[in-house]
Amino acid sequence: MPSVSSLLRLSVVVAGAALALSFPMLAPNPYILSAGVVVASYAVLSTSWNFVGGFTGYISLGHGAYVGLGAYGTGLLIIKAGLPSFAALLLSAALVAALAVPIGIASLRVRGASFVIVSISLVLILLLIFQSWASFTGGSNGLVVPRPFPGLRRPDHHLVFFYLFCALLAVALLSWWVIDRSRFGMGLKAIREDEDKAQSLGTPTFAFKLLAFVASATFTALGGGLYALWFGDLDPVFQFSILTGAYMVLMALLGGVRHLFGPLLGALVVGSALEYFKVEYGSTQLHLVATGLLLAAVVLFMPDGVIPALSDVYNRLFRPRATSIREATAAELRSQEEVRG
């Protein structure tokens, strides 16, 4: 028999999903719908990022690389190999997964500073390659990805892709949830808390890290490929952008990397804010300023995200005499201690 709390949890998730799925009906105009597609794509990307960031604690600023590879892979497979759009999307993600193995092997060997340097460098080098190799990638002229559903009016095009992004998001969330509850997930979290101890206790840390890394890159590539099919115009400068990776980190950190819905929540907040800034302050660079300030604030004041920070405040205000017997994981306990400390 499921407990009351898990029933409640389930109903909340269902309500959230229903609200998300009815969004196209609520959107007053096609522009809002297109903004919804962008936010949904951010949610996919930040959730994908969290496979490596959340489970292992390795912070990659270079996930923009997999977005770009997924997008260009999809576009090039359609144009050069003549594959149908969605076959190209899947094959492209598979190729990125294969590519992520050597990249993962090279970059996961080094911890800390070097890992971040490698992740950033990967974006920069791919940008150079995709700009320079113009005969294959289209270079700075960009690559035009054929529409998967030609003849669709633009608002309908947005509608279709909104649901596609939601479906991909659901798959990503489900995978994360499954891993979270598995032995594999426990091993990954051990790496996050103390890699050396985890290793000495027999966790195959390197293989686990690599697996999480490849899963993360694959989902990111799917998100990037779907974006390519939706958006249609690829330019190396925007596909291989450090900013994309930074948004993913910001969204996941803001929402809370230890929680299933943390990155999704972060994507809703940051994604909506970014779109709002585009409309209100379109001609300025203020969205960069806001992103920078928010990222700095998160890093300095709530490195575990909004969820633990808020629940901590809630606990202090409304549950002053919380008993010591409660249902909480070690990770949650620890995160609370860190927030307090």
Of residues 242-261, those binding another protein (CB under 8 A): 242-243, 246, 249, 253, 259, 261
98 touching another protein, by CB under 8 A: no
**110-129 residues near another protein, rule: CB under 8 A:** 110-114, 116-118, 120-121, 124-125, 128-129
Stretch that binds another protein, among 20-28, 70-78, 93-101, 171-179 (CB under 8 A): 20-28
185 touching another protein, by CB under 8 A: no
- Rounded to whole angstroms, how far apart are CA atoms 67 and 219? 9
179 touching another protein, by CB under 8 A: no
User: Which listed residue (211, 228, 265, 302) binds another protein by CB under 8 A?
Assistant: 265
How far is the first Cα of the chain from the last one, in angstroms, to the nearest whole number? Answer: 39
Closest of 319, 311, 312 to residue 340, by C-alpha: 312
CB 266 within 8 A of CB 49: no
Give the CA angle between residues 7, 36, 272 to the nearest 5°.
90
Of 129 and 167, nearer to another protein (C-beta) is 129
Of 98 and 144, nearer to another protein (C-beta) is 144
- Rounded to whole angstroms, how far apart are CA atoms 117 and 109? 13
Of 91 and 131, nearer to another protein (C-beta) is 131
Binding residues with another protein: total (CB under 8 A): 108
Q: Where are the alpha helices (DSSP H) in the chain?
A: 4-21, 23-26, 30-56, 64-81, 85-108, 113-132, 134-137, 154-180, 183-193, 195-200, 205-231, 236-239, 242-255, 262-280, 286-301, 306-318, 330-340
61 touching another protein, by CB under 8 A: yes
Of 91 and 238, nearer to another protein (C-beta) is 238
CB 253 within 8 A of CB 49: no
User: Which listed residue (34, 46, 56, 203) binds another protein by CB under 8 A?
Assistant: 34
Q: Give how far Cα 31 sits from Cα of 23, 36, 74, 159, 263, Å.
A: 13, 9, 25, 11, 24
269 touching another protein, by CB under 8 A: yes
CB of 182 to another protein, least distance (A): 18
CB of 175 to another protein, least distance (A): 18
155 touching another protein, by CB under 8 A: yes
Q: Give how far Cα 336 sits from Cα of 54, 171, 330, Å.
A: 16, 29, 10
CB of 208 to another protein, least distance (A): 19
181 touching another protein, by CB under 8 A: no
- Rounded to whole angstroms, how far apart are CA atoms 236 and 191? 34
55 touching another protein, by CB under 8 A: no
Closest of 277, 225, 271 to residue 42, by C-alpha: 271
CB of 101 to another protein, least distance (A): 15
Q: Give how far Cα 267 sits from Cα of 37, 41, 143, 158, 250, Å.
A: 12, 9, 27, 19, 9
- Rounded to whole angstroms, how far apart are CA atoms 64 and 123? 6
User: Which listed residue (36, 187, 223, 224) binds another protein by CB under 8 A?
Assistant: 36
**306-325 residues near another protein, rule: CB under 8 A:** 307-308, 310-312, 314-315
111 backbone dihedrals φ, ψ, rounded to 5°: -100, 170
336 touching another protein, by CB under 8 A: yes
299 touching another protein, by CB under 8 A: yes
Stretch that binds another protein, among 87-95, 102-110, 180-188, 200-208 (CB under 8 A): 102-110
